[in-house]
Amino acid sequence: MSATTRDGRSWSPSYLDAIDPAVCIGCGRCYKVCGRGVMTLRGVNDEGEIVDDEEDEDDIDRRVMAMEDAGACVGCGACARVCPTNCQTHIAA
């Protein structure tokens, strides 16, 4: 899929498809630039698994960004540009 900008230049969206919890450092930069609610901060246990928000804080080893509402992504790529660890995978339309 290709679209055009307001002045007619060609533009192809690149949608956020996944975030690798093994690489993500949970800095939140992507969350801050995304105004669409695509991502959220989640806990990860010592086995590297993303856990529910109801999980006991003692069971959470660290926090990472995770997909919250993938359908809300407009493919702008702002999250990829600010990510210091390149932990995201994007797909073309």
CATH 2.70.210.12 given to domain 21-92: no
- Write the CA distances from 42 to 6, 23, 27, integer angstroms: 37, 14, 12
Counting DSSP H helices and E strands in the chain, the numbers are: 2, 7
**What is residue 52's predicted lDDT score, i.e. its pLDDT?**
77
Whether pLDDT at 49 is above 90:
no
Domain ranges of the chain: 21-92
Do residues 19 and 65 make contact, with C-beta atoms less than 8 angstroms apart? yes
Supply the pTM of this predicted model: 0.85
Averaged pLDDT for residues 57-61: 83
Amino acid letter, residue 10: S
pLDDT over 70 percentage in the chain: 99
Tell me what pLDDT residue 55 has: 65
Over residues 2-30, the mean pLDDT reads 93
Q: How many residues does the chain have?
A: 93
